[in-house]
Amino acid sequence: MPALVETMFSVREKPWHGLGTIVAEAPDSQEALRLAGLDWNVVQKDIVTADGRDYIPGFKANVRDRDNSVLGIVTDRYKVVQNKEAFAFTDALLGEGVRYETAGSLQSGRRTWILARLPHQYIINGEEITPYLVFMNSHDGSAAIKVAMTPVRVVCNNTLNLALSTAKRSWSCHHTGDIQGKMEDARNTLLYAGQYMAELGKSFETLQQMKLRDQKVMEYIEMLLPVREDATPLQRKNIQKLRDDMKQRYFDAPDLIHTEKSAYRFINAVSDFATHTKPLRERANYKENLFVKTVDGNPLIDRAYQMVLAAA
């Protein structure tokens, strides 16, 4: 992730990669835009041949006005959603008093994200849950706009993106057509936060009722982090390190040690592992995947969730 992060800020906690500005209190949108280094606009310019004689029809260059860097080549149907529009959308959706936990620019401005804390908190089965909204955008034409809601436990900041099929928690659209109309559709979709939290509460209750023996936990960890038959000794060693890490989070994590040994405790341990474990080898593609998984539903968490439900 260090090679991908251009600018960012986060509240209170420094990311494991050590980059970005750390602030004590969550700022409002105007201050968050500045702290995140997102106070710039995308300007679309015609593309001409090297000799300057001919235009290339059907395409535009998305250019950052701050430094004239080219973020991407897009079709002339592409509609820009500016960084300030993303913040304005989130402000309007969440209402007065919204505060931002983190935001930033990736890949030299080609991708951006913002994470905002919803003004309402929920107590579900004794757990204090704070929903967050994440807005992801690309300025290079490589990805759609995506908005998603993720519930976060205050006690340890685990993301618990469970595979709830009956409640909507995300929305996306391409940068074409009536963008403003699509954004209104996003508001209508994401305003079902109460429904999602109700379904989440039911899932928590189900998981808490599923008691787990220690041996079963070890089996689940091995299934989540398998060793290929053709793995080298070093690869086997690295997988074992990851397994030991996940095991420690289940058995010894301070915020879980007083929680009854159950599928609920296991899912929390997997969540903590998935969102906080530093990669053994800091490859660029691994770091990019880590970011996407963290803010947009981690497949590892979903696999663990489906695994325990299948065994019920």
Residue 153 reports pLDDT greater than 80? no
Residue 151 reports pLDDT greater than 50? yes
- End-to-end alpha-carbon separation of the chain, Å? 37
Please give the distance of CA 142 from its chain centroid, rounded to a whole number: 17
| Tokens found for residue 198 | 């109700």
Q: What is the pLDDT of residues 34-89, one digit of tens each?
A: 988 999 999 999 998 888 777 889 999 999 999 999 999 999 999 999 999 988 88
Position 172, amino acid: S
What pLDDT does 160 receive? 66
Most confident residue range from 114-118, 169-173, 242-246: 242-246
What pLDDT does 289 receive? 40
User: In which band, very low, low, confident or very high, does the pLDDT at 139 lie, cut at 50, 70 and 90?
Assistant: very high
226-254 average pLDDT score: 90
User: In which band, very low, low, confident or very high, does the pLDDT at 167 lie, cut at 50, 70 and 90?
Assistant: low
What pLDDT does 166 receive? 63
What pLDDT does 280 receive? 54
Q: What percent of the chain has pLDDT over 70?
A: 80
Residue 280 bridge partners (DSSP): none
Residue 263 reports pLDDT greater than 70? yes
* CA nearest neighbour of 249 among 221, 272, 225: 272
Residue 281 reports pLDDT greater than 60? no
* CA nearest neighbour of 37 among 66, 3, 72: 66
204-221 average pLDDT score: 93
Asked whether the beta carbons of 198 and 132 are under 8 A apart, the reply is no
CA 301, CA 158: separation in Å to the nearest integer?
Answer: 11
pTM of the entire predicted model: 0.68
